[in-house]
Chain A
Amino acid sequence: MVQGKTFAERLGRLSVGLINTVGLGICVLPLILIFWLSVIANSVLSLPAEGYTLNWFAEVWRQPQFIDGFYLSAMVAIGATIIGMIVTIPAAIVLVRKRFIGRNAIMQMLMSPLIVPAIVIGASLYMTMVELEVRTGIPATGSMIGFIAGHVLLTIPWCVRLLTANLAGLNEVVEEAAASLGASPFTVIWKVTLPLIRPGIVAAAIFSFVVSFGNLEVSMFLSTPGQLTLPVAILQYLQWKIDPTIAAASVMQVAIIGLALVITNRFVNLSRMV
């Protein structure tokens, strides 16, 4: 029985519960479906299931584009995360601690990759890189540097938002105390500021990794034959064959991202960060 004194109260509680259940269901259903489809025995992605098998996971390992794609995605995500942090930590410190003309403009610029559709970013990056290749002869598209540069752009707004939120909550007086005890500005940042915003740094790093690892739109433009990230490899495979292999590949990708989030949650309370 639903708790509540009056009918209106009970109706209220009931509808909130109902909306929660439906919402959660909509979020979780595709995940469950993917897991299910990855173990059905049908040779085409279809229902009802004709039986169950784990063969599709073995099939993923037999497809070199998935293995290579996984490897490339991981490398790009790690690279983009590291470079993204190197760029955004100093930026966040300056944005929070200093007041200067153009501060808001810079903040907006750093947040803009969230507003511009990823496909537009991908297309413009592609055109820029092709132009760069033509002018300098250095291969940019399909190169690790090209991928990482593009993905760093996507991670910046997440990192800046998480880090500035964390820094704003840090009392500046603690930094003043460190300075009065003889710590130079660099030592203050290294010994006090950075350790205190560690939750923000861990969260930002993990979000960068997830955003980069799962990105399709930007990677699609930067990929060249033989240099495909996992999401692009899955898309290409789908274009000529629809079998549960892609479901298995997706399950593996979801598992990696899920693992990353679980690990992060051990360091910081994610529900409080985002």
Chain B
Amino acid sequence: MSQFVEQLPVVLSALNEGFVQTLKLFIVTLLGALPLGLIISFGSMSKFKPLSSFVKTFVWIVRGSPLMIQLLIIFYMPGIVFHNPVFGGGEEGRFAAACVAFVINYSCYFSEIFRGGIKSIPYGQQEAGEVLGLTKSQIFFRIKLLQVIKHVVPPMSNEIITLVKDTSLARIIAMQEIIWAGEAFLKGSHGIAGQVWPLFFTAVYYLAFNGILTIAFGKLEKKLNYYRG
């Protein structure tokens, strides 16, 4: 027991460090993938056939292949195939590669959610806007967008909670997120070796963070529920 008390602060500080990496990846992915997802959804709905079929194929490839493979390709391809290791070997490079892979992957999932949200707006609103003499961009931003946001919040919150846990995949390219930090104590790290509990303890971090997200999304949904007052 006294050994546990001694180890606790060391383990927690290592796990906190790992969790900061997890959070950073989560935030960058959200900030990148939300706008990119919207752009991709426009691409897949475009009336310009070559563009929409190109985007649809791209979305199929990204959603259809494992994120783990995409991480490996994005980090290792530049050096091995093009002899140009753009990311470098340091921690920053691994983080950057993980960000690129996650933003691309998640923007494809988000794009389909946005597409569903945009398609759910009755076409009559488009016509009404045109009759009133609004431009296409006015119709989208002033009439449709807020309704789209309301519609996409539930599926989006689902995807975002999955994202929190998916960040653990980044350890395949040795990005040192929280599970990496927890697992390190199995073998030995920070002078503590052969400890199993830190690995299992990482789940507490995910649970707590996802709890906060669930509450926040619940509040957001309530706020957007303006038709029922």
The answer to whether A and B assemble together is no
Residue numbers of A with Cβ under 8 A of B are none
